[in-house]
Structure 1
Amino acid sequence: MRFTLVGAGAVGALWGLKLFEAGHQVHFVTRKEESQITLGFEHQKPQTFSANQPSLGEDSDCLVVCVKAFQVIDAISAVKSHLHPDTPVVLMHNGMGTANDVLQTLDTNPLVLATTSHGALKISPSVLRHTGLGETRLGGANVSGKQCDFLADVFSHALPSAKWEKDIQTALWRKLAVNCMINPMTALRQCQNGELLSDSLREQLNTLSEEIALVMQAEGLNVASGDVLQHALQVAKATAENHSSMNRDVHFKRRSEIDFITGYLISRAESHDIAVPENRALYQAIKNLELSYDHA
């Protein structure tokens, strides 16, 4: 297949390289005005990929959007004029809340939502480290998107394992719940994920999981707070030496995806009249940090 990857950060580079290794054609769209980019896994020979070539975008069989949640609409608007109306679009980013806006921007394209637990780190602009094996879940967001289940096999062949979900919202909420705990806590403490396994943080994690479970239950998911907590602890243990994306954003004084992670949880809690004070406190702490960047 012919893929266009929008975004050449850690996740975009990971999928671009893996799809290329699986025999697919890969083209990148980046924010820079460059016609080629070089990417490779550490200790391997780098590859040169075409970039920012509208004709390749027009010929693509699939568009995979791997930018930050707050960059999604601008990124799609930039490529919309070069996108065939029947080309499937896959959104792969942390957080929730972009799908409705994308559906309004692209009113004909099949839309697929995806979440992955693979870890990746750019150790230089052109060198990538695959920091942790995980799994990828995909599912349709509109009627035509629900007919793109073949993409699960394509993605799984490139980077196992990938599964198609008839109800992708459940998988997205499970990922959101983990991100609501791991991301802001590790960002504020500037620590690796594994440090959240400390007994001293268990009470805070318990409270967060209880609040998150209430919102998930109101959204129609059959989940207990204990399950939410254990899943987050399992992820923290499996990625103990990793830094969360929000940790890195705070470290480098970049805007984070807090509005689409904890912010989305808070917005859904408000719609159900559910109080989530512990999550609100984390949200405000991250927002205060972001506001301080300009004054540092």
Structure 2
Amino acid sequence: MDVLVVGAGSLGSLLGGLLAREHDVTLVGREPHVGAVREAGLDVVGTEAFTVSPAARTDVPDATDLALVTVKTYDTADAAAALADCSLDACLSLQNGMGNEAQLAAGVDCPVLAGTCTYGARLVEPGRVDFTGRGEVVLGDREGGASALADEVADAFRLGGVEARVDADMPTRLWEKLAVNAAVNAATALARVENGALADSPGDELLAAAARETARVAREHDVGLSDERAVSLAADVVRKTAPNHSSMYQDVERGTRTEVDAINGYVVDHADGAVPVNETLTRLVRTWETGRNLRCSTN
């Protein structure tokens, strides 16, 4: 399969590198990373260590079989615009937050699949990605139901050594992922702590409250996610990824924009009633982003 990875940062580079062992892969990202990959290949270190030589560029080519989108949520509209003139058979979003699939579907002329990914990755330097933890890709029709296309893509992932399975209820799966991200990301970013810090009090209380609020909003949108399952999923992720830094924590460490608007902010914007924990987390992260912008503008 010819695979185009749009958003070759940490996760995109790792998945692209794994798939490049069996498929024709093109990484689309930013310099100097893509330049380093073009010159010397992509080094994967950590859980597995190998070097592959996928194509690497800063723009989208004319055609591909599958576009794997891993850009930050605030870049989804730009990714859709870039893919609009690319001949595609399928597009798969493996992004944080909610609403990405609808934005992509509005811009591309092909089926758009929804997906989640629990693989861990960290971009160490241009041309090198640290494989920090093996996980699973779950994908399916973005509106739910059986999908022969999703089966085909999952088969291609497994051929490349990526654990993948198809889920016929991706709407619920996406809300479950949102509950985990809402419970973990902002709290760890603001406190500057590893995920495992949320396993004990008072972090576990904050985690549970954010997850329960998200589950309630999911039910308001006809998704059957119980409070107990949302809290259990978030607690399980914290236990399994205890030494990891969340993606939002990494954003704050780098001083870059976060995805809070598509995570905790999405919960706030789509709630029928008050969600005070998610609202507070959202406002605090946005306050940090405002301060970062002010600092950047005076330097």
What's the TM-score once normalised by structure 1's chain length?
0.90
Distance 1:180 1:125 in 2: 30
Q: Which residue of 2 aligns with 1:283?
A: 282
Distance 1:286 1:126 in 2: 30
> Are 1:9 and 1:122, in contact at CA under 8 Å, matched by a contact in 2?
yes
1:292 and 2:288 matched: no
1:62 is paired with a residue whose SS is: strand
1:134-186 superposed Cα distances (whole Å, 9 cap, x missing partner) = 1111112379x944121112113324421112221111111110000100000
Q: Which residue of 2 aligns with 1:117?
A: 118
Q: Which residue of 2 aligns with 1:16?
A: 16
1:52 and 2:54 matched: no
1:53 to partner: Cα distance:
8.2
1:223 to partner: Cα distance:
2.8
Q: 5+ unaligned residues in a row in structure 1: which ranges? A: none
1:119 to partner: Cα distance:
0.7
1:148 is paired with a residue whose SS is: helix
Change (3 A) 1:45 1:137: closer
Paired letter, 1:39 = L
Paired letter, 1:185 = A
1:102 to partner: Cα distance:
1.8
Paired letter, 1:47 = V
Higher mean displacement: 93-102 or 176-185: 93-102
Q: 5+ unaligned residues in a row in structure 2: which ranges? A: none
1:207 to partner: Cα distance:
2.2
2:138 is paired with a residue whose SS is: strand
1:217 and 2:219 matched: yes
Distance 1:262 1:232 in 2: 14
1:253-282 superposed Cα distances (whole Å, 9 cap, x missing partner) = 10011111111111221xxx2210111000
Distance 1:204 1:50 in 2: 43
> Are 2:178 and 2:214, in contact at CA under 8 Å, matched by a contact in 1?
no
Distance 2:104 2:165 in 1: 23
Q: Which residue of 2 aligns with 1:148?
A: 149
Q: Which residue of 2 aligns with 1:75?
A: 79
Paired letter, 1:128 = V
> Are 1:111 and 1:142, in contact at CA under 8 Å, matched by a contact in 2?
no
> Are 2:23 and 2:160, in contact at CA under 8 Å, matched by a contact in 1?
no
Distance 1:223 1:277 in 2: 19
- Aligned CA RMSD, in angstroms, stands at 2.3
Please give the residue correspondences for 1:224-243 in structure 2 after superposition, counting only pairs within 5 Å.
224-243=226-245
Please give the residue correspondences for 1:253-268 in structure 2 after superposition, counting only pairs within 5 Å.
253-268=255-270
